[in-house]
Structure 1
Amino acid sequence: MTTTTCGLVLAGGLARRMGGGDKSLRLLAGRPILAHVVDRMRGQCDDLLLSANGDPTRFAAFGLPVVADTVPGFAGPLAGILAGVDWLAEHRPDTAWLLSVAADTPFIPRDLAPRLHEARAAAGLPLACAASAGQAHHAIGLWPVSLREDLRRTLAAGERKLGRWTQAHGVAVAEWAVEPLDPFFNVNTPEDLREAERLAELAS
C-alpha cells in the first residue's frame, strides 16, 4: 500500500436486538461474523485492531490488539475511533490513517481502503466514508490520526454523532453498488443473520 492505514473493527455495540452479548461472535457460514470481517480487512490494511470494551480475552482467538474506550459510559463509535487513533499515536506513530468498519458487516468490500483514499484525495477533504443505495455509512470510513485531539475535545463536549463531526471537517463519500448484494449489509437481528446466511453464497 502507498498510504499507511490501520484497520479498526468496531465491536463495542450492545447488540440489544440480538438479545445482548457479542453479536460479532455469532456464527455465519460456520465461522464467527467477526472472522469474515477480519479476513476482508487484512489484505487492505497494514495493521488491524479491535475496538471492544469488557474482557478482551473473549477475542483472543483472533490475535488482534483490543483497544477499549477511554471515554466513560457507552459513548458509541466515536469513542472507539478515538481509542484507535490514540493507540496508533502511541504504538504506530508512522501510521497516518485509521480505517474503521463495523464488526457486524461480514461482506465489507475488499477494495474499501483504496477507494476511500481515492475519494478523499480527489475531493481534497480530510475524511471519507462509504455509501450504498444512497445511504452514507458514517462508521465505515477513513480517519486521519492528525484530528485525534479535535475528536477528543468533541467527545468531551458531549458530541456522539459521527455524521455531525465528519461534516464539520469535510467528508468525501464513495458509493458501492448493491448488486448482487449490499457490501455493507449489517447483522442486527436474528432475521438479519438468516439473511446473511443466504447472502454469504453470493459474496466474493
Structure 2
Amino acid sequence: MAQMEAIPGVILAGGLSSRMGQDKARLRLGGLSLLDRAIKRLQPQVSTLAVNANGPVLFEPGAELPVFADLDASRSGPLGGVLAALDHARRHHPGAHHVATVPTDSPFFPADLVARLAHAADGPERIATARSAGGPHPVFALWPVALFEDLSAWLAGGGALRVRSYLERHRAREVSFPTIETPRGAFDPFFNINTPDDLAAAENWLWILER
C-alpha cells in the first residue's frame, strides 16, 4: 500500500483537445474552468499538486500551482505527460514512491480516488488505475516514480503511445469505482467531456449532483 501522505499529484492538461476545438482546461463548467475544478477535486487527496501543460495556463486568483511541460515536443500523448510527471516528482519530491495523475476533462472524479488507488498499489513499482461501469480510465492512475527510466525508454524506442499498452506490460492493478445513484439515474463519476454536447450534458449533471 502506498503512503498517501507522500503522494504528489499532477493534473495532465497538455492535450490538443481536437474534438472540442479549443483547450479543454479553459472550458467553464458551473462558473469554474475545468482545470480549476480538477484542482479543487484533487488537491485535498494529495500531498502537493502541479500541472503538466504545453502552453499558457490560466488559474483562478490564488490558485496558482507549479506548471511544467512535456520533456520533449513530440506530442507523445498522455504518456508524455506521465513521463513529465514522474520526472517532476523525482526531482522535487525525492521521497515519493508514486505520483497520482488525473486529466482535466472528467470533473466529477471520486473524492476517494487517490486513497483507493494507494490501497491497491501493493508495492513501490505497482501501477494502480481506475475503472468504472463505463470501462477503464487509465490516466486516472498512481504511477511508481521508479518507472521513469522504463517509460522514457519505452517512448524513445517507439513503444505504443496507448496508455493501456504500457499498463498491460506492467500488469497494472485496476480499482473499480461505483456509479452514483441520482434522481435521473446512475451516473459514472468519470464522465468525460470531449465535445460541446458533452459540456452541455455536464452542466445538467452538475445541477443534479450539487442539489
Q: How does 1:26-65 map to 2 (within 5 A)?
A: 26-56=27-57, 58-59=58-59, 61=61, 62-65=63-66
In the TM superposition, residue 71 of structure 1 has moved relative to its aligned partner by 2.8
CA contact (8 A) 1:125 1:172 kept: no
Shift of 1:16: 1.2
- Fraction of identical pairs, as percent: 37
Letter paired with 1:185: F
**Structure 1 consecutive aligned stretches of length 4 or more whose deviation exceeds 6 Å:** none
Where 2:208 maps in the other structure, the secondary structure is: coil
Aligned to 1:5: 7
CA distance in 2, matches of 1:15, 1:134: 21
1:197 alignment partner, one of 186, 203, 208: 203
What corresponds to 1:130 in structure 2? 130
SS of residue in 2 equivalent to 1:118: helix
Structure 2 unmatched ranges of 5 or more: 182-186
SS state at 2:191 partner? coil
1:17 alignment counterpart: 19
1:49-128 alignment runs, 5 A limit: 49-56=50-57, 58-59=58-59, 61=61, 62-121=63-122, 126-128=126-128
Secondary structure of the structure 2 residue equivalent to 1:93: coil
Whether contact under 8 Å (1:130, 1:173) holds in the other structure is: yes
Q: Counterparts of 2:174 and 2:125 in 1: how far apart (Å)?
A: 10
Q: Distance in 2 between matches of 1:187 and 1:83?
A: 23
Distance 2:85 2:125 in 1: 21
The DSSP-based 3-state class of the residue aligned with 1:37 is: helix
Q: Which runs of 5+ in 1 are unaligned?
A: none
SS where residue 55 of structure 1 aligns? coil
The answer on whether the counterparts of 2:3 and 2:118 sit within 8 Å (CA) in structure 1 is no
In the TM superposition, residue 59 of structure 1 has moved relative to its aligned partner by 4.3
| 1:99–1:142 Cα contact (<8 Å) kept | yes
Flag the 1:124–1:80 CA change in 2: closer, same or farther, 3 A: closer
Shift of 1:119: 2.0
Going from structure 1 to structure 2, the CA distance change for 1:124 and 1:75 (only over 3 Å counts) comes to: closer
Task: For 1:128-167, list aligned pairs within 5 A.
Answer: 128-133=128-133, 135-159=135-159, 160-167=161-168
Alignment RMSD, CA only?
2.0
CA distance in structure 1 between the partners assigned to 2:60 and 2:156 by the alignment: 31
Distance 1:30 1:60, change over 3 A: closer
| One-letter identity of the residue aligned with 1:163 | R
- Are the equivalent residues in 1 in contact too, given 2:125–2:147 (CA < 8 A)? no
Aligned residues: 201
Give me the TM-score of the superposition, normalised by structure 1.
0.91
* Alignment check: 8 A CA contact 1:125 1:171 kept: no
SS of the equivalent of 2:136 reads strand
8 Å Cα contact 2:42/2:111 also seen in 1: yes
**Secondary structure at the residue paired with 1:81?**
helix
2:96 partner amino acid: T
**Range moving further from structure 2, 103-112 or 171-180:** 171-180
Report the AA paired with residue 203 of structure 2.
Answer: E
User: Normalized per residue, which structure has more helix?
Assistant: 1
